[in-house]
Chain A
């Protein structure tokens, strides 16, 4: 088989790295994926520098000339199945079981991979919110309030981010909604301790994994990526808390009880 055009290899490798970052994987995984794509398809030396918001890739083709490309990454949602598929595609390439055409078709099909249907996602969100409430010391009544609140919360944030609303405002709205819904349920006598239900349902938004991955990136030596992820986690937490704090304040002002 004829060697693929170096420009095409560069584009494909940067597509792969960008896809890895969009799926919320570690930064070094994006860099290693791009390098593995280049070395398997072009044979020559490649260098990749990735941060959560962009990829820079340079590549020395078989003709000895260097080429480079910059790709911007916007919008990150964690998608573990896509990470797993890119991982196995990269292994296939590295082991020589796939060629350029198969790799580029593979990347296309991973980008089009359908997610779980809406009903399954809703059930997952409800289960997560309900059982986290129980795990963090809530009663059954709190969990039964947190579950529907969590389901609506996940649908709401998904819709808002599809409309192009920034994560910060999505989180403000989500935090405010979770607090108001749980407090209202408490007032109506459904939740024994609305605070627990708030924590359980807000688990769907809080950046716990993000802050842990920020520290993991920093430990791995990706200092810029680590600090960037830390800032991302910090801003998400700030958004949720501004929404929640405002909702608690409104509740107090409305004279519906101290919360």
Chain B
């Protein structure tokens, strides 16, 4: 992989983050996540397995976002949305529909399938990291509150996570 690609991913993400109204103080983590994700994805793509690459990159971005968000006391969503920008299969959506507009049915199916696979892998990667972060924050909260009412944690209607920095 061309190491300059990490720089391109970072700068493209920084530019797009402005359009999403991300404030400058949130930019470093978002940009770092984008470079990390692109690096992991490229390593897997060169090894010949882009789908696992999307999943691994998204999981890494998710962990970094949740971890950073916890310390910065901001929602992890901010960093996730920006950091997945280089991976996200936007051009795949466009190419799928372009093949369809041109009447190329096999092309539509092939590109469309690859696009859904990529989007699914990214979403699954983010879901895994969010689930683990939620688990970790609940363990931490129940430790801090040891001696509190035991029913507390089981109440699913409680807006869990406001304690954490989800």
Q: Which residues of A contact B (CB under 8 A)?
A: 25-26, 29, 32, 35-36, 39, 78-84, 87-88, 90-91, 94, 115-116, 120-121, 123-132, 134-136, 154, 175, 199, 202-204, 206-209, 211-216, 219-220, 233-234, 236-238, 240-242, 244-245
A219 & B8 in contact (Cβ 8 Å cutoff):
no
Which of A130, A202, A209 contacts B85 (CB under 8 A)?
A: A209
* A86 → B minimal CB distance (Å): 9
B85 & A241 in contact (Cβ 8 Å cutoff):
no
Inside 8 A of B90's CB, which chain A residues have their CB? 202-203, 206-209
Q: Which residues of B contact A (CB under 8 A)?
A: 4-5, 8-9, 11-23, 26, 38, 73-75, 77-78, 81-82, 84-86, 88-94, 96-98, 100-102, 115, 119-120, 122-124, 126-127, 157, 159, 161-162
Q: How far is the CA of A205 from the CA of B48 in the complex (A)?
A: 29
Q: How far is the CA of A242 from the CA of B159 in the complex (A)?
A: 43
Which of B12, B81, B162 contacts A131 (CB under 8 A)?
A: B12
B23 & A202 in contact (Cβ 8 Å cutoff):
no
Q: How far is the CA of A175 from the CA of B14 in the complex (A)?
A: 23
A135 & B8 in contact (Cβ 8 Å cutoff):
yes
Nearest 7 interchain pairs by C-beta? A208-B90, A124-B18, A127-B15, A208-B88, A206-B90, A241-B97, A128-B15
Which of A80, A127, A214, A241 contacts B101 (CB under 8 A)?
A: A241
* B35 → A minimal CB distance (Å): 11
Main secondary structure of the interface of A (DSSP, over half): helix
Which of A81, A203, A216 contacts B123 (CB under 8 A)?
A: A216
When A135-B12, A208-B90 are in contact, do A83 and B18 touch as well, CB less than 8 Å? no
Q: Which residue of B lies closest to A134 (CB)?
A: B8
B126 & A125 in contact (Cβ 8 Å cutoff):
no
B81 & A80 in contact (Cβ 8 Å cutoff):
yes
Q: How far is the CA of A236 from the CA of B69 in the complex (A)?
A: 31
Inside 8 A of B8's CB, which chain A residues have their CB? 131-132, 134-135
Inside 8 A of B122's CB, which chain A residues have their CB? 212, 215
* A219 → B minimal CB distance (Å): 5
Q: How far is the CA of A125 from the CA of B20 in the complex (A)?
A: 10
Inside 8 A of A154's CB, which chain B residues have their CB? 19
B101 & A245 in contact (Cβ 8 Å cutoff):
yes
Inside 8 A of A237's CB, which chain B residues have their CB? 93-94, 96-97
A-B contact pairs, 20 of them (CB 8 A): A32-B162, A80-B78, A82-B21, A84-B26, A84-B74, A94-B162, A125-B15, A125-B18, A127-B11, A128-B15, A135-B9, A199-B91, A203-B16, A209-B90, A212-B89, A215-B124, A216-B126, A240-B97, A241-B97, A244-B94
Which of B15, B89, B127 contacts A126 (CB under 8 A)?
A: B15
Which of A87, A128, A211 contacts B16 (CB under 8 A)?
A: A128
Q: Which residue of B lies closest to A244 (CB)?
A: B98
